[in-house]
Structures are given as structure tokens and as C-alpha cells.
Amino acid sequence: MKRFTLLAILVVAVIVGAGCAGYTPQVSMPSYIQKLAVPVFFNKTQTYNIEQYITQKTIDQFIADGKVAIADEQSADGVLKVNIDKYILTPITFDIHQVPQQYRLRIYVSIYLFDSKNQRQLWMEENLWEETTYYVVNNLGMPAETEEIGRLRVLDALAGRVFRRTMNGW
């Protein structure tokens, strides 16, 4: 019985170890980048002025962290460029008259980190997204919200995601 238990534990350990063997951490920001430029994000969508908000929220994340200084592009060691690629608003719940009651908002971005000193792209991450759902009527105890409230929630989450991807690789 002891042999069977020991063999079972060994098999589980090998399976778990093999599952982790293929994991490759994503590249984060190199340690030699001490000053980072974050120009205003490029908005490819039809939604007006969201680039200003998410750029500032992302910069705030870097300032709060304090591991890199924010600088202009000429004096920075690296440049973080972000494109806002898609803004998708989809009605997902309807009343009996087919009037939307709930929406899903998903925003996609692409991130590019450039090494200013060596004039090369270090990495890129495309199709990074965040989403939220919100009711436009008070339904099931959920308060009614506007598209703008949902948009700010998604942009805040995306700013955190851009920061974490840049600093930690995830």
C-alpha cells in the first residue's frame, strides 16, 4: 500500500512539474530603463477623448509605484506607446420590447515598449483588453449606470493592466 501511495505521489509530481515546464514568463521592462516616456495614447476608435483619461491614469500608476521616473521622449531611456484599437459596446440583455437593459463594454489596446538608447522595440503586446457589464435600468437590485461610468471603469482597469504588463510582464 505504501508503494502505491508513493507511486501515486510521484506520478502527480511529474504531471504537475511537466505542466509548469512549458511556462515562459513574458518580458517586462529592463532594469536599465530608469526614465520612461508615456506619450498620449493613440486613439483609433470613434470615442472622443478617452486617450487623455487612460494616459493620465497609466502615468499615475507609474508615479505611485516610484520604480521609474516619468520623462519626456528626448530624455527618457524608454518609451511606452499604446494604441486604443477597439471600443465595442454590445447590448446583452433586453426587455420584452427589445429595448436594451444591460450592455457589455470591451476596450482593446496594443502596447509597445521601445528602448530609446538603442533605438529598438523591446516588446509588444497586442489585443490586451478589459471589459465590464452594466445595467441602464435598475434591474435585479443593480443600480442603473451610464456608458460613461462603465467606460471609466474599463479605462481604470486597462491603465492598471498596461502598468502591470510593462513592469511585471503580466
The model's confidence at residue 122, banded by pLDDT at 50, 70 and 90, is: very high
| Percent of the chain whose predicted confidence (pLDDT) is above 90 | 76
Domains, the chain = 29-168 (3.30.160.150)
pTM of the model: 0.81
pLDDT of residue 3: 56
Would you say 44 and 88 are in contact if contact means Cβ atoms under 8 Å apart?
no
* CA torsion, ordered 53, 57, 60, 65, to nearest 10 deg: -160
pLDDT of residue 20: 47
Across the range 67-91, mean pLDDT stands at 97
| Of the candidates 164, 148, 28, the residue with the CA atom closest to the CA atom of residue 109 | 164
Across the range 83-105, mean pLDDT stands at 96
Tens digit of pLDDT for each residue in 8-35?
Answer: 455 555 554 544 444 444 567 788 999 9
Mean pLDDT of the chain: 88
